[in-house]
Amino acid sequence: MSLKALNLEYQQEVQERERKHRESEGGVFSALKRLSNNTRGALKQRSAYPSEGRLEEILLNLEFERG
């Protein structure tokens, strides 16, 4: 078997494994959709504007991260 044929066979096996993995996980798109929905739900639960105490905490964290 030539090197080119072996490489093609290997690539096909990899693609088949990836396809099976995606199917077993429910698919990449459904996972992204769940993540998007979870994020959207979490954002809806928060108020549009942070409270004054939360704003101070955010600013302190930013200052700490900058050094």
Task: Give the tens place of pLDDT for each residue, 34-60.
Answer: 777 777 666 666 655 667 777 788 888
Under the banding of pLDDT at 50, 70 and 90, the label for residue 2 is: confident
Which parts of the chain fold into alpha helices (H)? 3-24, 28-45, 52-66
Q: Which domain holds residue 62?
A: 3-66
Contacts of 28 (CB under 8 A, 6+ apart): 22
Query: Average of pLDDT values for 19-31?
Result: 71
Q: What is the pTM of this model?
A: 0.36
The domain total for the chain is: 1
Tokens of 25: 């996980």
Task: Give the tens place of pLDDT for each residue, 10-23.
Answer: 999 999 988 887 77
Specify the pLDDT at position 12.
Answer: 92
